[in-house]
Chains A and B, each alone.
Chain A
Amino acid sequence: MVSPRGHYREESPQVANIELIRQSRDRSVPETGQGLQKGAIHTDSVSKSYGGGSGRIDAVGNISIDVAPGDFVSIVGPSGCGKTTFLKLLGDILEPSTGHVEIDGRPARAMRKGRRVGFVFQNAVLFPWLTVRENVTLPFQIARSGGRFRRVPNEFLERVDRALTTVGLEDFGHRLPRELSGGMQSRVALARALVPEPAVLLMDEPFAALDELTRTEMALHLLSVWERVRTTVVFVTHHIQEAVLLSNRVVVMSRRPGIIRRDITIDLPRPRSLESRRHPLFGEIVEDLTLDFHLSGRD
């Protein structure tokens, strides 16, 4: 489908599902470093309701979506539309009421248990009693210890150090989280999510608590990290400019119960930077999405 303005493609959710994997291979979606496709997400009529009877709340309607391996998809929508709930369904933090989620052809639960799904939350969720390095080592600690505190082997600790270098915090490993700025804390959370090398990285408004400047800085940082690691990212945000700058694809959700209203492919060239904002297409998509965003909020 072509947008009325003819500059960028807008897919109906159904068509988008079929088209996506092909697009990702021949366009801007990167291959993984090892040449293996990984992180393909498939959801089939996934919904989530809370409570029962007259007090039942339908948070997420039926959502069927496919995300190609290594893609960067943003989900935008009005507050309370079920974006976060949907992300938690993808990561098996919540169980769907109907439908199912698959990652790389396996149930989301199996992928979570195999620690193949990374999660970055709205707040950095760092353990204040652990140093930055210990926080990033946590996924390995948990994978190894089985309830007891065992030493993490050096090869894993080297991966922790590499992750800290990737997010530019190699000199802050011994610090406590409270000694870091908000932006630095977000970077630690990103390093912790990346260190087990997940197939899918789910990010729930990770920069929402940051000021505008730091937020932009973090978005650019995420871009550069993603260019290197090429893991599949599903990024929930209510910041349209951020979504357009980062993503290959933006999914707009309706008000509760959240369903997919629009699914837009962002054809901005990569690698992207702050300069990408000057691209005529950037402004056009942002303007269109902003209008749509407000309309979806009023429906």
Chain B
Amino acid sequence: MHLAIRGRPKAQARNTDRSSRRVLSWFNQNLLIPLAIFVVVIALWEWAVVAFEIPQYTLPRPSAIWVSFSGESGDLMHHTWLTAKEALLGYLIGNGIALVLAALMAEFKIVEKSLYPYVLVLRSLPIVALAPLLIIWFGFTIWPIVAASALICFFPTLVNGVEGFKAADTTMLELMRSLNASRTQVFQRVKLPNAMPYIFAALKISVVSSMIGAIVGEWIAADAGLGFLTIQANNFVDTLLLFRAIIAMAVLALSWFLLVVIIEKRVLKWQTSS
């Protein structure tokens, strides 16, 4: 009895030790070097600004940027949330349309032949050239920005999607034929799962694309958002504000990217981990 009571906390402690050792080992393998590089770069930056007497409007010290966040974080959050909303809507709409179209293009040759030239034309148009047109159509709302964001992530997802849907293993298709599977079943059970790695590759790329679309859109038609902040910082030569906006963009894009990676890992858990 006495031993049992004493034994349990020991076992728990052993488990805690093991899990903390696992976390430590994961940290050492994945984060230690990037974090060390970050610390060194920041230290060099801080030192160089002081040593070479670089003016703040050209390059502020990292410590000055950090300090400037205090008192401004509420306002920054407001702008970040707006950009995130525009980019996310653009991301969902652009990728959604691209994936439906990719499936249709991969399944029906006639759709591919009819639409591909127009898709290429659309791709070759610079988004900045389209922005005034989008403003005319959607007015000064968030929608021209959402449209710009959707347009910019549409093409890579479409191309990857078509490639993924078409890349199904021939023998798998023959197996499905031998089982008398319908076209819908072949799509659901072979082509769609098979295209998932391609689709996720595109979804990761388009995180950044949709952010670029939203920011470029805000440069042209917005009075709020991180893109708008960068323009405002430029007008007032407020380098600290510019850095705050850039850091917010980086944090937003990185968290979003990590979220997609986590979903990818869950959906594609059948793939061999690299």
Contact partner of B180 among A88, A112, A127, A141, CB < 8 A? A112
Interface presence of B16 (CB below 8 A): no
Contact partner of B178 among A117, A122, A141, A149, CB < 8 A? A117
Interface size class on chain B is 20 to 34
B176 / chain A contacts, CB cutoff of 8 Å: 142
Interface presence of A113 (CB below 8 A): yes
| Cα(A117)–Cα(B174), bound, Å | 13
CB-CB nearest in chain B for A189? B175
Interface presence of A291 (CB below 8 A): no
Contact, CB under 8 Å: B271 / A128: yes
| Cα(A176)–Cα(B184), bound, Å | 24
Contact partner of A125 among B171, B180, B181, CB < 8 A? B171
Interface presence of B270 (CB below 8 A): yes
| Cα(A273)–Cα(B46), bound, Å | 78
Contact, CB under 8 Å: A147 / B171: no
A141 / chain B contacts, CB cutoff of 8 Å: 189
| Cα(A117)–Cα(B177), bound, Å | 11
User: Which B residues from 180 to 198 make CB contacts under 8 A with A?
Assistant: 180-182, 184-185, 188-190, 193, 196
Interface presence of B136 (CB below 8 A): no
User: Which B residues from 117 to 176 make CB contacts under 8 A with A?
Assistant: 169, 171-172, 174-176
| Cα(A88)–Cα(B184), bound, Å | 23
Interface presence of B272 (CB below 8 A): yes
B180 / chain A contacts, CB cutoff of 8 Å: 112-115, 142-143
Contact partner of B270 among A112, A125, A128, CB < 8 A? A128
| Cα(A93)–Cα(B177), bound, Å | 7
1/0 per residue, CB under 8 A from B, across A86-129: the answer is 00100101000000000000000000111101110111010111
A117 / chain B contacts, CB cutoff of 8 Å: 178
Contact, CB under 8 Å: A178 / B272: yes
User: Min CB distance, B147 to chain A, in Å?
Assistant: 34
Interface size class on chain A is 20 to 34
CB-CB nearest in chain B for A123? B171
Contact partner of B171 among A112, A121, A142, CB < 8 A? A121
B4 / chain A contacts, CB cutoff of 8 Å: none
Interface presence of B179 (CB below 8 A): yes
A127 / chain B contacts, CB cutoff of 8 Å: 172, 189-190, 193
A138 / chain B contacts, CB cutoff of 8 Å: 179, 189
User: Min CB distance, A125 to chain B, in Å?
Assistant: 5
Interface presence of A146 (CB below 8 A): yes
Describe B's contact surface by its main secondary structure.
helix
User: Min CB distance, A87 to chain B, in Å?
Assistant: 11
Contact partner of B179 among A115, A129, A146, CB < 8 A? A115
Interface presence of A145 (CB below 8 A): yes
User: Min CB distance, A159 to chain B, in Å?
Assistant: 15
Contact partner of A147 among B169, B175, B188, B193, CB < 8 A? B188
B172 / chain A contacts, CB cutoff of 8 Å: 125, 127
User: Min CB distance, A18 to chain B, in Å?
Assistant: 30
| Cα(A268)–Cα(B181), bound, Å | 40
User: Min CB distance, A170 to chain B, in Å?
Assistant: 21
User: Which B residues from 48 to 105 make CB contacts under 8 A with A?
Assistant: none
A182 / chain B contacts, CB cutoff of 8 Å: none
User: Min CB distance, A90 to chain B, in Å?
Assistant: 11
| Cα(A88)–Cα(B188), bound, Å | 24
Decide yes or no: A178 and B171 within 8 Å by CB, A138-B179, A142-B185 being known contacts.
Answer: no
1/0 per residue, CB under 8 A from B, across A121-164: the answer is 11101011110000000110111011101000000000000000
CB-CB nearest in chain B for A121? B171
| Cα(A145)–Cα(B178), bound, Å | 16
B184 / chain A contacts, CB cutoff of 8 Å: 147
A145 / chain B contacts, CB cutoff of 8 Å: 185
A121 / chain B contacts, CB cutoff of 8 Å: 171, 174-175
- The residue among A93, A121, A125, A178 with the most chain B CB atoms within 10 A of its own CB is A125
Decide yes or no: A142 and B179 within 8 Å by CB, A127-B172, A129-B193 being known contacts.
Answer: yes
B181 / chain A contacts, CB cutoff of 8 Å: 142
- The residue among B169, B175, B176, B178 with the most chain A CB atoms within 10 A of its own CB is B178
User: Min CB distance, B149 to chain A, in Å?
Assistant: 31
Contact partner of B175 among A125, A143, A176, CB < 8 A? A125
B272 / chain A contacts, CB cutoff of 8 Å: 178
A93 / chain B contacts, CB cutoff of 8 Å: 174, 177-178
Contact, CB under 8 Å: B185 / A119: no
Contact, CB under 8 Å: A176 / B270: yes
1/0 per residue, CB under 8 A from A, across B213-230: the answer is 000000000000000000
| Cα(A115)–Cα(B172), bound, Å | 16
Q: Give 28 CB contacts A-B under 8 Å.
A: A93-B177, A93-B178, A112-B177, A112-B178, A114-B180, A115-B179, A115-B180, A117-B178, A118-B178, A119-B178, A121-B175, A123-B171, A125-B171, A125-B172, A127-B189, A129-B196, A130-B270, A139-B179, A142-B179, A142-B185, A142-B189, A143-B179, A146-B185, A147-B184, A147-B185, A147-B188, A176-B270, A178-B270
Which 9 pairs show the lowest CB-CB distances between chains A and B? A147-B184, A119-B178, A129-B270, A129-B193, A125-B171, A142-B181, A113-B180, A128-B270, A142-B179
